[in-house]
């Protein structure tokens, strides 16, 4: 009986570690405006303008803006700015909707997603 409890405890512990690892991979950064209710609308929640977010994104990744919108990213309000770079790649830049800081840059090459880098800049 004691051996069975040890095995079950080991399985539970392994599952908890695995779940914790998955959540750590998904939430790589946080924003300054947590989203409580998506139905309330994002526009009234943002503290910086779309233009400010676009300027921060272009400063981080030069190119032409393809699309920019407010998004729920990891439970925080961010601007997602898609930029067509001169080298043929597309970058998805996440800008904090409260501070204007670039939080993350994801780069796609030839239609295949490639994880980008987290930004530590204070833009």
Residues 25 and 35 in one domain: no
Instruction: State the average pLDDT for the chain.
Output: 78
Do 23 and 7 lie in one domain? The reply is yes
Q: What is the DSSP string of 14-31?
A: HHHHHHHHHHHHH-----
Between CA 16 and CA 32 the distance in angstroms is 28
Assigned token pair, 87:
């080298």
11 with 51, same domain: the answer is no
Same domain, 39 and 77: yes
Domain count, the chain: 2
- Do residues 112 and 96 both lie within one domain? yes
Q: Give the number of other CB atoms < 10 A from CB of residue 71.
A: 16
Question: Does 14 score more than 50 pLDDT?
Answer: no
pLDDT at residue 87 greater than cutoff 90 = yes
CA 122 to CA 33: how far, in whole Å? 16
The number of residues making up the chain comes to 123
The answer to the question of residue 123 being in a domain is: no
**Per-residue confidence (pLDDT) for residue 29, from 0 to 100:** 85
- pTM for the structure as a whole: 0.69
Residue 40: what pLDDT?
74
Is the domain of 26 the same as that of 85? Answer: no
In this structure, the answer to whether residues 60 and 45 fall within a common structural domain is yes
36 shares a domain with 24: no
Same domain flag for 54 and 21:
no
Gap between the Cα atoms of 44 and 99, Å rounded: 15
Same domain, 16 and 73: no
d(CA 118, CA 105): 6
Range of the domain at 19: 1-30
Residues 4 and 53 occupy one common structural domain: no
Question: Does pLDDT of 31 surpass 90?
Answer: yes
Burial (CB count <10 Å: 0-12, 13-18, 19+), residue 81: buried
**37-78 pLDDT, tens digit each:** 877 788 889 999 999 999 999 999 999 999 999 999 999 999
């Amino acid at each position: 009986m004691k051996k069975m409890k040890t095995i079950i405890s080991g399985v539970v512990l392994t599952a908890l570690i695995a779940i914790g690892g998955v959540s750590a991979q998904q939430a790589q950064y946080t924003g300054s405006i947590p989203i409580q209710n998506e139905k309330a609308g994002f526009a009234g929640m943002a503290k910086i303008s779309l233009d400010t977010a676009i300027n921060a994104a272009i400063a981080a990744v030069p190119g032409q803006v393809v699309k920019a919108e407010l998004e729920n990213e990891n439970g925080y309000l961010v601007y997602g700015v898609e930029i067509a770079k001169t080298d043929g790649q597309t970058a998805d830049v996440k800008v904090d909707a409260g501070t204007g800081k670039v939080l993350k840059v994801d780069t796609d090459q030839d239609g295949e997603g490639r994880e980008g880098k987290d930004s530590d800049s204070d833009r």
